[in-house]
Structure 1
Amino acid sequence: MPAITTFDSTSESLLDMVKSVRDGKTQLPDFQRGWVWDDEHIRSLLASISLSYPIGAVMMLQWGGEAVRFRPRLIEGVQLQQPPIPERLILDGQQRLASLFQALYSGQPVVTTDARGHPIRRWYYLEINKALSLNGDRDEAIIGVPEDRLIRNFRAEVIADYSSMERECKAELFPLPLVFDTAGLTAWQLRYLQVAPDHIQERLVRWNDLVQSVIQRCQQYQVPLVALRKENPKEAVCAVFEKVNTGGVSLTVFELLTATFAADEFSLREDWAHREKRLKQHHVLKTVENTDFLQAISLLASRQRRIQALTSGASVDAAPGITCKRKDILRLTLEEFRAWADPVTEGLQKAAKILHGQKIFAARDLPYRTQLVPLAGIVTVLGDRADHDGTRKKLARWFWCGVFGELYGGAIETRFAKDLPEVLAWIDGGPEPDTIADANFSPSRLLGLRTRNSAAYKGIHALLMRDGGLDFRSGDAIDVHDYFDEKIDIHHIFPQDWCRKHAIDTRRCDSIVNKTPLSARTNRMIGGNSPSVYLERMQRRAQIHDKRMNDILGTHLIDPDPLRKDDFDSFFLARQTALLERIAQATGKPIVRDTLPAEQEAVELPLEYEQDEDAS
């Protein structure tokens, strides 16, 4: 039985390879970034070629596959007014081939960088005497000289001039581009022998040594070549590229899809730039990424494919699934993108309004950016129904279950794919989605919620604002204008300074239980004072009587009695209980509380406090 293979492994002469680059027969897929090898890397590469050392295989993709249509572009340094349709695309080896083409075959100085990253232009030469020395280092024998071929010292004085063939020959500096230039090589050889008529025999011996040990090695160099056949599917080609591109920057699915759509003269990058500008007018969408956008489109496009298959009589198991994994995003057609791009953009904007209703106004307070993907997909399908009160309540419950169940922090594409149909079915009277069923919040988690690195930490912050938390000083509820104008943030109730002085362990001091949303001005009034001191001061300055202040504290789930008595332990236990009840209300799921964290046996902890968010 013949072997099944998707590639061919062979070798090709370096000369044929750089010729193919020059003629535009070998090009790059548009997603390949510009090459950035520095001068030292290029000299080392040229040294390896001159010694017939291996430089690694080059991987290319045959052009013409129906499933893979990347927009091609010429390699840096190639100048063609009308580039031809390529015969193949470079997947791995771009930097090596670009460097070798520019250094040996382009007829132009190489655009590169020095050790400090500054752009420079260089011609590459071989110091003949060093190259032929038995103890010579080939890397040191290859040098790069400036574009004008003049070497200057730090005072900009010319100390060496290689601007003519005569001067090159006298200095015994061989221009490496001549290895593939037969006429130029012959002319240089004659001049090399003529510049020292008294030493022709000696020079002839050196020249013959140079030809055998360097020039012929370059001319006969074979580059290992792996050629992927054009029948390979796009996701396979992209997966191969990602695996071999270990020396470069990992490509995003957005960049790969950009190259695919570019083949149809559509600029995904420009399209996204316009949409991104619109979306980021909403503070809560400031961190939305292009991959989030594509995932939402993939969910909806694959859902549409599934519906069409089921309508056509396919069984539930045979119909294509709803998905937004990387390989499935790469399968999106331009027609599907165009069909869903506007609805998803509007869906994200509607999602922002829903989040505002939950008192999440800024991206830094959004528990999971990733949860925007299924939310946008859901509200896109719902359309105007997303504004109905009953629908909003269910969406809120699903949202908070995801947050407090901490369900969107790992491998999440599978959950996205379940959320879309399950939440839609639930809204239409079906069973609760798995995200609600899977949500669980452990009371012991409260002590671990200390910074915005936790979704549940940000979730409690938002819940306290959503459910009517009033500012200690002004007594105002928090809306979107107050949030930004008053610089609302999460601050300590018992200040860190007070906790340090009273040996309160860091886990409890910095826990979300000891924090609440307050304005920057109110937090400055709190300072490092005890609650009994700052409450008395606030009430006096703001003319707030005790009952009103107690009511304000109650909106933050704070028991006023232990707070006024500076009784941290009683305050902490009471607020733990209240916060857990609030989480249970938001998720619609009971929380099992056999023993609250603060009731467990005390543990000796070091007094190392988190960086004070209150000071920021």
Structure 2
Amino acid sequence: MGNQKYVVNHYSVDNILNWAKSGDIAIPEIQRPFVWKASKVRDLIDSLYNGYPVGYIIVWSNHSVKLKDGRKSDGKKILIDGQQRITALMTSLLGNEVVTNEYKKIPIKIAFNPKEKKFEVRNAAIEKDAAWIDDISKIISNDVNLLKITKDYCKNNQNVDEDQIFESINTLKSILNNPIGVIELNANIDIETVTEIFIRINSQGVALSQADFAMSKIASNETYEGNLIRKCIDYFCHLSREQDIFNFIKANDNDFTKTEYFNKIKWIKDYNDILYKPTYTDVLRVAFTSEFKRGRLQDLVALLSGRNFETKTYEETVVEESFGKLKSGILKFVNENNFKKFIMIILSAGFIDLSMITSKNALDFAYILYLHLINQGMKQGEISKYIKKWYVMSVLTGRYSSSPETQFDIDIRRINEIGINQYLSEIESAYLSDAFWNIALPRSMDKVVDSSPYFKVYLAAQVKNNDKGFLAKDILIRDLITNKGDVHHIFPKEYLNKNGLNKSKYNQIANYVLMQSEINIAIGAKAPNEYLKYVIEQCNGGKLTYGSIDNIKELKKNFRMNCIPEKIIDYTVKDYENFLEERRFLMSMKIKDYYYNL
């Protein structure tokens, strides 16, 4: 093909449907929910009927690989774009069922009015209306007598032109002969070029991820159980969110339920304490990086294609070995013991709620590290220490916030070369110096969102230390988080607003605290020096006004665990900026102490 990156051909709708039915094109998403609305299926049929363009289907040829006997083998074409359109055609024209978001199998029936030459999604009214042919698949998918259908229609509809009706129905039948453009991408082009071509051709400009290509590549190879691996990944991810699909799998995918993969993932349907809800990208990244010691998913696509990085050739032995390693990595990811123990480690670090997880990439690499250390035979206690510190370090430093796959690649290679202990020490020396704790981290907390990763780590430190809510005698931070308690303002926002401070000022992280709502409501818009005056009084024998702390020692302890400077009892709006600086530093010191005691 030379430098030609793709060729454009036109094939009939009938050809494309036959490819899909015979498996000549691998459609990896066939078991996943159909996301188009029924009205969009109707519009597609209407466009075909009227001869309008319906976009291109994009396929990427699999590499020819060298077999063990020296021959070359051509694999299936991988469908890169057009799955929804092909599925829409199969359900509307052939009567096939699609999988809904509720994991129910239903057909989408499109009705046709030959007099008006209009299409609609079939409904109860249309079924009773003789002017409509209620299901076009009865005409399209069967060898039917169009003249008889025409005469039957005219018998039931007075004052219609029989020739016109026949022409309309015949045009509908001929949809199967309509051409659809197919862009066939050269097997030798790289993923980046495929992505660029896709973006330029796709009118919506929706970029495909490396994981999308990997999943398509996996699904296209049934020789080494790629189709089962793909289902294992998909079903595990969906079961972690929608437990009801377990019944769908049992009812609709009997072959899969007989495999080892099903037995390895079915436990997740009963697991409610889920802090980590992986997507297929997460599963692929973790399985690939932990097993192959590489971080870039484009390398996985190359390996699954048979790429020998040393000889720069494509070999069947590489395909076989790569699928074997990938299967091993996937099964380790979904292993009940591995998954639950990893989650317990993250929970034990104080991250007790999904809302506290601000970096899925950091969580992914923490699981990669866990599986790597398990493979090395490290004791569970040591593993726990390294996982907690690595995860917190990653979140605090934003380690995987940009180019995560590149950083994954660097980190796993270094850990594999020099070991986790030495590598983590090097990172701590480089990124967690005194300057980080004393200057960089406090400055980083000059933020206005309570979803900040620094605030979430601070809350995790409070959970780990069994700290109590602000001005609370018995209620723990843990309780306030798990019961979805509110984040409140130490300097009430109404008070600050009345004194001329805007949202960017009063919604500072350093002004946030977890507090019982009833205490916050009672405080209202009072300045700290005003409401804390009553707290001091109740600590000296006065009536309980704000919370139930009734002695000074307990109050000072509560201030310390919530990083509140004791001088706050005299603070008004003029002290607010100084208060923020003081509290940011105290919060940073708390996080530092927490980190080094993990």
Q: Where on the TM-score scale, by shorter chain, does this alignment land: which range?
A: 0.5 to 0.7
| SS in structure 2 of the partner of residue 31 of structure 1 | coil
The count of aligned residue pairs is: 507
Counterpart contact for 1:450–1:511, Cα < 8 Å: yes
| SS in structure 1 of the partner of residue 22 of structure 2 | coil
Query: 1:359: which partner in 2?
Result: 350
Query: 1:141: which partner in 2?
Result: 117
Counterpart contact for 1:110–1:122, Cα < 8 Å: no
Give the counterpart of 1:224 among 153, 168, 181.
Answer: 181
Counterpart contact for 2:369–2:387, Cα < 8 Å: no
- Using the TM superposition, give the Cα deviation of residue 145 of structure 1 relative to its aligned residue in structure 2, in angstroms: 9.0
1:107-186 to structure 2, matched below 5 A, reads 121-127=109-115, 141-143=117-119, 152=128, 160=130, 184-185=145-146
Give the counterpart of 1:437 among 430, 437, 452.
Answer: 430
Rounded to whole Å, the distance in 2 between the matches of 1:162 and 1:241 is 39
Identical columns (%): 15
* Pair 1:382 & 2:370 matched: no
Rounded to whole Å, the distance in 2 between the matches of 1:194 and 1:523 is 76
Letter in 2 for 1:387: G
Give the counterpart of 1:556 among 557, 562, 583.
Answer: 562
Counterpart contact for 1:61–1:227, Cα < 8 Å: yes
Query: 2:310: which partner in 1?
Result: none
1:341-490 to structure 2, matched below 5 A, reads 341=330, 343-344=332-333, 349-383=340-374, 384-385=378-379, 387-388=381-382, 392=385, 398-422=390-414, 425=418, 427-429=420-422, 432-434=425-427, 437-438=430-431, 440=436, 442=440, 445=443, 448-466=446-464, 469-475=467-473, 478=476, 480=478, 482=479, 490=487
Give the counterpart of 1:335 among 310, 324, 330.
Answer: 324
Give the gaps of 5 or more residues in structure 1.
68-85, 128-139, 153-157, 165-174, 304-321, 589-616
What's the Cα RMSD here?
5.5
Rounded to whole Å, the distance in 1 between the matches of 2:514 and 2:342 is 23
Give the counterpart of 1:29 among 27, 30, 44.
Answer: 27
- Using the TM superposition, give the Cα deviation of residue 381 of structure 1 relative to its aligned residue in structure 2, in angstroms: 3.2
Decide whether aligned partners of structure 1 residues 458 and 162 sit closer, same or farther in structure 2, where only a CA change above 3 A counts.
Answer: closer
Rounded to whole Å, the distance in 1 between the matches of 2:549 and 2:182 is 82
Deviations 1:124-172 (A, max 9, x none): 3533xxxxxxxxxxxx5344596999775xxxxx6x46789xxxxxxxx
Query: 2:531: which partner in 1?
Result: 531
Query: 2:285: which partner in 1?
Result: 295
Rounded to whole Å, the distance in 2 between the matches of 1:538 and 1:486 is 28
Give the gaps of 5 or more residues in structure 2.
67-74, 101-105, 240-264, 305-321, 594-598
Query: 1:544: which partner in 2?
Result: 550
Rounded to whole Å, the distance in 1 between the matches of 2:419 and 2:559 is 37
Counterpart contact for 1:350–1:379, Cα < 8 Å: no
Decide whether aligned partners of structure 1 residues 50 and 61 sit closer, same or farther in structure 2, where only a CA change above 3 A counts.
Answer: same
Decide whether aligned partners of structure 1 residues 257 and 387 sit closer, same or farther in structure 2, where only a CA change above 3 A counts.
Answer: farther
Counterpart contact for 2:98–2:108, Cα < 8 Å: yes
Decide whether aligned partners of structure 1 residues 224 and 587 sit closer, same or farther in structure 2, where only a CA change above 3 A counts.
Answer: same
1:28-67 to structure 2, matched below 5 A, reads 29-32=27-30, 45=44, 48-49=47-48, 52-60=51-59
Rounded to whole Å, the distance in 2 between the matches of 1:350 and 1:110 is 40
Rounded to whole Å, the distance in 2 between the matches of 1:367 and 1:180 is 50
Give the counterpart of 2:588 among 583, 597, 604.
Answer: 583
Give the counterpart of 1:498 among 495, 500, 517.
Answer: 495
| SS in structure 1 of the partner of residue 145 of structure 2 | helix
Rounded to whole Å, the distance in 1 between the matches of 2:122 and 2:420 is 70
Rounded to whole Å, the distance in 2 between the matches of 1:244 and 1:493 is 53
| SS in structure 1 of the partner of residue 460 of structure 2 | helix
- Using the TM superposition, give the Cα deviation of residue 458 of structure 1 relative to its aligned residue in structure 2, in angstroms: 1.9
Decide whether aligned partners of structure 1 residues 90 and 548 sit closer, same or farther in structure 2, where only a CA change above 3 A counts.
Answer: closer
| SS in structure 1 of the partner of residue 292 of structure 2 | helix
Rounded to whole Å, the distance in 2 between the matches of 1:280 and 1:473 is 35
Rounded to whole Å, the distance in 1 between the matches of 2:155 and 2:60 is 48
Deviations 1:264-298 (A, max 9, x none): 54541345534783896446x25454533432222
Deviations 1:484-535 (A, max 9, x none): 6776664322222333344455444321222334445654554444432452
| SS in structure 2 of the partner of residue 450 of structure 1 | coil
- Using the TM superposition, give the Cα deviation of residue 360 of structure 1 relative to its aligned residue in structure 2, in angstroms: 2.7
Calculate the TM-score normalised by the size of structure 2: 0.64
Give the counterpart of 1:566 among 539, 564, 571.
Answer: 571
- Using the TM superposition, give the Cα deviation of residue 323 of structure 1 relative to its aligned residue in structure 2, in angstroms: 0.8
Letter in 2 for 1:259: A
Rounded to whole Å, the distance in 1 between the matches of 2:194 and 2:123 is 39
Counterpart contact for 1:469–1:555, Cα < 8 Å: yes
Deviations 1:44-66 (A, max 9, x none): 55565555554444444668966
